Structure 1
Amino acid sequence: MYVIVTGSAGKLGRAAVAALRKAGHRVVGLDVQGPVAAAQSLRADCTDFGQVMGAFSGIDITGGVPDAVVHLAGIPMPGLATDQRSFEVNTISTYNVFSACARLGISRIVWASSETIFGLPFDEPPASVPLDESHSDRPNWSYALSKQLGETMAGNFCRWAPGLSIASLRFSNVYSLEDYEQLPAIQAKPAWRKMNLWAYVDAEDAGEACRLAVEAAFEGHQRLVIAADDSLMAVETSRLLDDHFPGIEATRAIKGHASLLSSDRAKAVLGYRPRFSWRDRVSAKA
């Protein structure tokens, strides 16, 4: 397949490009920061609808309309830009990508939604754990609101454009090899990571989730949590809950270091199987 990856120069974008290329797909990256060494790349701004349409409809080096688009461009986390700017960039770029795909007949979109929709930083505790797609949305930040609106747009574009299918991947905090160097400080103060229930996903697993969502057989709009199977902490998860969310309802047994974000639906729909734990990464560097 021919796949365009927006935000291809970012942490998640690079991982998605690598996973897609490894699987034999032809990949073109789009990013405001310019070329990515691992893929043919275009410099383009997804907040400009004309640039999106131009890139998706084919230019000399790409030679046609892609089979799928993986949309990862935008402000990647809260706190990197003003609230207004995060909302503006993420909402407009997502609308432009969805609209261009619908107009051009591109039938598969995979895009980066976010765990933040669940209610980070959880000053008001969740109703129960683990969290999955059945839990109500409770965005507390402009960034999270932009992702919630992106999911609403995804559902409506699938309704408007027969044959269009969209995977909204609710990524947990994406960890690269360099990010694991922060773990000793984080694990020394579990309260620092209470804000996202101590969840994470390895960058390679996140990139593989993008690849699986491009290839999987599903229809319409799918909301899918993408997380590691374990937490970031050395302390067992039940102890973390007792210390920081006493009395919270657990809808199933929380064993060992199990994550409080459930990827079960992604496993069923995509065949997602996270391969990497922080334990593997830290021991490999030791």
Structure 2
Amino acid sequence: MYVIVTGSAGKLGRAAVAALRKAGHRVVGLDVQGPVAAAQSLRADCTDFGQVMGAFSGIDITGGVPDAVVHLAGIPMPGLATDQRSFEVNTISTYNVFSACARLGISRIVWASSETIFGLPFDEPPASVPLDESHPDRPNWSYALSKQLGETMAGNFCRWAPGLSIASLRFSNVYSLEDYEQLPAIQAKPAWRKMNLWAYVDAEDAGEACRLAVEAAFEGHQRLVIAADDSLMAVETSRLLDDHFPGIEATRAIEGHASLLSSDRAKAVLGYRPRFSWRDRVSAKA
């Protein structure tokens, strides 16, 4: 398949490009930072609809309309830009990508939604744990609101454009090899990570989730949590809940170091199977 990846120079973008190329797909990257070494790529700003249409419709190096688009461009987390800027960039770029795909007949979109929709930083405790796609949306930041609106747009574009299918991947905090160096400080103060229930996903697993979502057989709009199977912490998850969310309802047994974000739906729909734990990464560097 021919796949365009927006935001290809970012942490998640690089991982998605690598996973797609490893699987034999032809990949072209788009990024405001310009070309990246790992893929054929060009400079493009997804907040400019004309640039998106131009890249997707085959002008210049791309050579035709892609079979799928993986949309990862945008402000990648809260706190990196003003609230207004995060909302503007993420909402407009996502609309532009969805609209261009619908107009050009591109039938598969995979895009980076976010765990923040669930209610981070959880000053109001979750309704229950583990969190899955049935948990109420409680966006508390402009960043999270932009992702919630992206999911709303995804559902409507699938309704408007017969044959279009969109995977909204609710990524947990994506960890690269360098990010694991922060773990000693994080594990020493569990309260720091209460804000996202101590969840994470390895960058390679996140990239593989993008690849699986490009290839999987599904229809319409799918909202899918993408997380590691374990938490970031050395202490057991039940202890974390007792200390920080006493009395919270658990809809199933929370055993060992199990994550409080459930990827069960992604496992069923995509065949997603996270391969990496922080334990593997830390032991490999020791």
Question: 1:142: how far off?
Answer: 0.2
Deviations 1:174-231 (A, max 9, x none): 0000000000000000000000000000000000000000000000000000000000
Question: 1:25: how far off?
Answer: 0.1
Deviates more, 1:53-62 or 1:219-228: 53-62
Deviations 1:4-50 (A, max 9, x none): 00000000000000000000000000000011111000100000000
Q: How many positions carry a matched residue from both structures?
A: 286
Question: 1:248: how far off?
Answer: 0.2
**Structure 1 SS opposite 2:195:** helix
Question: 1:232: how far off?
Answer: 0.1
**Structure 1 SS opposite 2:60:** coil
Question: 1:60: how far off?
Answer: 2.6
Q: In 1, Cα distance between the equivalents of 2:88 and 2:76?
A: 13
Q: Which residue of 1 aligns with 2:78?
A: 78
Q: Which residue of 2 aligns with 1:259?
A: 259
Deviations 1:131-175 (A, max 9, x none): 000011000000000000000000000000000000000000000
TM-score normalised by the chain length of structure 2: 1.00
**Structure 1 SS opposite 2:62:** coil
**Structure 2 SS opposite 1:154:** helix
Q: In 2, Cα distance between the equivalents of 1:128 and 1:178?
A: 32
Q: In 2, Cα distance between the equivalents of 1:60 and 1:258?
A: 48
**Structure 2 SS opposite 1:269:** helix
**Structure 2 SS opposite 1:242:** helix
TM-score normalised by the chain length of structure 1: 1.00
Q: In 2, Cα distance between the equivalents of 1:8 and 1:131?
A: 29
Q: In 2, Cα distance between the equivalents of 1:265 and 1:12?
A: 21
**Structure 2 SS opposite 1:147:** helix
Question: 1:59: how far off?
Answer: 1.8
Q: In 1, Cα distance between the equivalents of 2:32 and 2:177?
A: 24
Deviations 1:76-110 (A, max 9, x none): 00000000000000000000000000000000000
**Structure 1 SS opposite 2:45:** coil
Q: In 1, Cα distance between the equivalents of 2:131 and 2:9?
A: 30
Cα RMSD for the two superposed structures? 0.3
Task: Provide structure 1 residue ranges, at least 5 long, that are not aligned to the other structure.
Answer: none
Question: 1:62: how far off?
Answer: 1.4
Q: Which runs of 4+ in 1 moved over 2 A?
A: none
**Structure 2 SS opposite 1:186:** helix
- Percent identical pairs in the alignment equals 99
**Structure 1 SS opposite 2:247:** coil
